[in-house]
Structure 1
């Protein structure tokens, strides 16, 4: 069974004004006091034995905190880790008069403060306003692969499905005090970086690594950590890292995205082993599919993953569920995924919940306050499920 884990970026908001606040350094001081003396706390390090649960790490801006789960085999264990990690971050934030909110952009006006880090400083100078304004929170799913060769085979085959994940996770309609008109404005803001977006089909690990070398040789990106593709081979773990999703307002949606991502990886690997070629969809069409998902989320047509023609969002999501159904069934995740998707359909994505919150409360402050509550709600009813593997007689 493939292991998988999640990295969630959360906003730090003042517990009175509900505006983002640059308190990550103080938060991390409180967090450090809870750690074993031998524990490392660098996001680039594999989890050390001292970490028996999720861990916290700093991000690009001081108004953010990252929560990193451990790798898990079962959906239930990952769900519990996500809840525990969010609670840990919020507890440490509470020590410095803040709360954590799973919002992919800041609804209220904000001026971010870059982390006091040499690399961040270099990026701020080199990339100007793009870096200074960067305040978005994503959800990255890591899924284990056996080798770089398998990993590239997976990247070649999951690329057409990633806009669907982005639509399901859309959670950034407001930014800088305004309704952007997008379900995921984070997707638009993130695309300003020079190395974002979908990749072409590589066919081999050697071709992928040659492309990486060519990109780095241009000097446009600072290093490998700045390869912000929609999906990539992880720089630090033996995983494929899927990076298209907004951080999800409801942790249930995070679990849904993670389970679908693992099923996509498993399905792609099986297709590769069986000799099935990837669908040759041009990058230009994938960019349009990503834009459509960013604009509307699940509330208008999405582009068909193979033909590129507009189709009902529910039909395209249905195609995704059908595509990964065997992998979901084999992992024992099919009922859970359909349950979680049914919940999402009933209440809407994070973007819909935020807009509904504005209608109820009449203010963006009310939206953020409600988002804090939803970030830490305990609605998930599958946390204590078993291993997740299908029972056989």
Structure 2
């Protein structure tokens, strides 16, 4: 498994700062590692960068890599006069700037306001699969549970200087892309490839890199890539996402597909509900299809993957970390608490920088 995290680049005072090209030049001058991952890379906007871990099997190793990646990105940012903040959206009013790249400029030209406003930061989890058939089976199994992963990670209550009333407004902004959101079941690898071919044939998106499903088969690695989550304020919450995704993948391979899978239209409603209230309201129970307290639905997820967590030695840690999130709150809850204590936009971002790099 591995994790990719997107971060805002901000001034020391807290405002978004378009210095990604300078940060990336500093990163390129450092010694490279031949293993996949472990890089600081460009993202769509000059006000953000992305980090990635190397593939690993050990949860503690993954947590150490996530923390190291955050510290490295922040050190590189400081050389450009900036810091990094793990926030799903910027609380400030900002006109973000597309990275100087041919493909990014083509996306901006084709998608207009959707591209212009797309300064959002997510957390992407990769988990290895043997082939596309195995990957499609995992994707289909993940469908009703992606909403719970979003709720646990929600970390974007602000947008363009205003409080949105959402725990994850990033997911609402991201949902403007034509390929974003939940999917219907694929069935097998051939079914997945047919969908991708149909999307490309429509010429609506530039390439398969613009397949923005909540979860997809990676075009770069032999993995399922789960993209539904906001970037997590706390590094351990990002590792919780990865550990749960790995357990869901293991569970998928030993569980028969449901006779009547939940329709994509219904999943969109479940996901919207998770984005709206995160872990502070109700989520929809995948087993019952009705709302229940978020803590109960999160517990249902843990129970669903319990055997896989036990086999990996992850159960005790996951139960503790889930307890932390439910008691402390996700990133959105923490941001709103800082607001209640009197933090303005700058102070909120500065506190987020401290947590990001702790």
Q: TM-score, normalised by structure 2?
A: 0.98
SS of residue matched to 2:341 = helix
* Alignment partner, residue 21 of structure 2: 25
* 1:142-167 CA distance string (max 9 Å, x none): 00001111111111111110000000
* Alignment partner, residue 329 of structure 2: 348
Cα offset for 1:367? 0.8
Residue 150 (1) aligns with residue 146 (2): no
* Alignment partner, residue 247 of structure 2: 263
Distance 1:235 1:113 in 2: 26
Gap runs ≥5 in structure 1: 40-47, 378-393
**Which of 282, 285, 297 is equivalent to 2:263?**
282
Residue 180 (1) aligns with residue 164 (2): yes
* Alignment partner, residue 8 of structure 1: 5
SS of residue matched to 1:65 = strand
Cα offset for 1:28? 1.2
* Alignment partner, residue 380 of structure 1: none
Cα offset for 1:276? 4.6
Distance 2:343 2:112 in 1: 35
Cα offset for 1:317? 0.6
Residue 305 (1) aligns with residue 286 (2): yes
* Alignment partner, residue 391 of structure 1: none
The answer on whether the counterparts of 2:141 and 2:257 sit within 8 Å (CA) in structure 1 is no
SS of residue matched to 1:243 = strand
Residue 162 (1) aligns with residue 146 (2): yes
Residue 192 (1) aligns with residue 176 (2): yes
Correspondence list, 1:322-361, <5 A: 322-361=303-342
SS of residue matched to 2:254 = helix
* 1:257-314 CA distance string (max 9 Å, x none): 111011011101121xxx4546510111100000000000011111111432111111
**Which of 92, 108, 131 is equivalent to 2:76?**
92
CA RMSD after TM alignment = 1.2
SS of residue matched to 1:281 = coil
Cα offset for 1:136? 0.2
The answer on whether the counterparts of 1:9 and 1:247 sit within 8 Å (CA) in structure 2 is yes
The answer on whether the counterparts of 1:160 and 1:306 sit within 8 Å (CA) in structure 2 is no
* 1:303-339 CA distance string (max 9 Å, x none): 1114321111111111100000000000000011111
Distance 2:289 2:252 in 1: 20
The answer on whether the counterparts of 2:93 and 2:161 sit within 8 Å (CA) in structure 1 is yes
Cα offset for 1:356? 0.6
Distance 2:93 2:350 in 1: 15
Distance 2:289 2:141 in 1: 16
**Which of 375, 378, 383 is equivalent to 2:356?**
375
Q: TM-score, normalised by structure 1?
A: 0.89
Gap runs ≥5 in structure 2: none
Distance 1:72 1:31 in 2: 22
Structure 1's consecutive aligned runs of 4 or more residues displaced over 4 angstroms after TM superposition are none
SS of residue matched to 2:271 = helix
